Each structure stands twice: as structure tokens, then as C-alpha cells.
Chain A
Amino acid sequence: AQSVTQPDIHITVSEGASLELRCNYSYGATPYLFWYVQSPGQGLQLLLKYFSGDTLVQGIKGFEAEFKRSQSSFNLRKPSVHWSDAAEYFCAVGASRGNQFYFGTGTSLTVIP
């Protein structure tokens, strides 16, 4: 069965520091992988996605993610965090049946000045 694990429930970083949010997935075939961000009281916004090809994908707001098949991981990174990046981040994997996605439980990011 498909599943997504985000092992970090909450992360705190200083503004300007680098960031890495972890995501591990379980999937039988080549996955479609996504990262979404949710600001307080808002819906989810797509940050980036991976379907195939180059394993390092660039997204919006300066984020990037690297697909590592051997580790079943799709970690999200940003070299320098801004206070506006404080939000909830969700990793998702696409299922083989239609477009059903499976989401991780999310990582809450706090940015301190």
C-alpha cells in the first residue's frame, strides 16, 4: 500500500539558516511526488513536483527537492529560510489508480528571528 512518512512533526530554524524537511514514501512503482505548503487558515499550495527525469527539482519560493529512489526519499530543502516560510509542509505521493494522492501528516515549520 502507498504511504508517506514525514518523521519530523515540528522543526524550528533561525531566519537565514538552511532547511531540510524529510519525506519517505512507500510505493510499488515510479511515484509522482509532491510538496505542498499550507499557511495558517489557508488551503494547500503546490511547491514542486517530480514525475521523472532530473532527480533534483526546483520549485517556487526558492525551494528544491531531491528524489532518491534508493532511499525512497523526497526531501525538501531551502538554503536560506525567510520568516514568511513559517507554515505547514506536506509531502504527497501519487497513486496508480487515477489521481488519488496520499499525504504525509505534515511538518510544522517555525522560523525565529
Chain B
Amino acid sequence: DVKVTQSSRYLVKRTGEKVFLECVQDMDHENMFWYRQDPGLGLRLIYFSYDVKMKEKGDIPEGYSVSREKKERFSLILESASTNQTSMYLCASSTLGNPTGSYGYTFGSGTRLTVV
């Protein structure tokens, strides 16, 4: 069964810590995404990547960075965690697949991060 795996379901970190959220997909997908999900705000795109070593900012990149050294792995980095980054973080991957476009995203189960 193909999947997107996020390394941690729950994380608690202290303010000012550097935090790494890891995401691995086994579908050979070109595209990977990081979203955060907050009540009433839906999913907001933080960063995405179309290829290895490529990255593009989404709608809310401030305070975050990403790394994609290998096709299957996409890491989200909180440079200095703050309490307003307490959230559910969702990783997703997708492929163009066919000429008509995307088959949609495959999501990981999410990482609930609490910054204290």
C-alpha cells in the first residue's frame, strides 16, 4: 500500500528550539507539500517542492524552511519555534500522472506540534 509517512504523530517542543518534521513517500511522486491546519482556517500551504533540491514558498512561509535532498523525503524546519506555530502539520505528495493533470494529493497522518 502506497503511503506518505510522517515521522511523529505528536511533538512537544520548547520556544526557541529548532524543530524538524520529516515526511517520506514511497510513490516516486515528483511533488511534495507541507500544510498547517488550524481550526477555522483550513489548510494553509507553507512550502512545496516539484523536484529534488527545488522549493517554493506557499502562502505562509515565514518562520519555516524546507529541505529536499532526496526525491522521497521532504523536511519542514522551524528555525526557532514559537507558540503561534502550535498546529497540526500535514505533508502531502502528488504526481502529474497523466496529461490531464493531477490525481490529487496523498496525505500523511499529520504531526500535531505543541510549542510551549
Contact = CB atoms under 8 A, between A and B. Distances in A.
Nearest to A97: B56
Interface string A22-50: 00000000001010100001111110010
A43 B9 CA distance: 11
Interface of B: 4, 31, 33, 35, 40-43, 45, 48, 50, 58, 90, 92, 94-96, 100-110, 112
Contact of A43 (B41, B45, B48, B107): B107
Given A103-B42, A104-B42, A105-B41, A98 B31 contact: yes
Contacts of A90: 42-43
Interface residues of A, number: 23
Contact of B42 (A51, A98, A105): A105
A45 B107 CA distance: 7
Given A34-B105, A43-B4, A45-B107, 17 more contacts: A32-B101, A32-B102, A36-B105, A36-B107, A42-B109, A43-B109, A44-B90, A46-B105, A46-B106, A52-B100, A90-B43, A98-B50, A99-B101, A99-B102, A101-B105, A103-B35, A105-B41
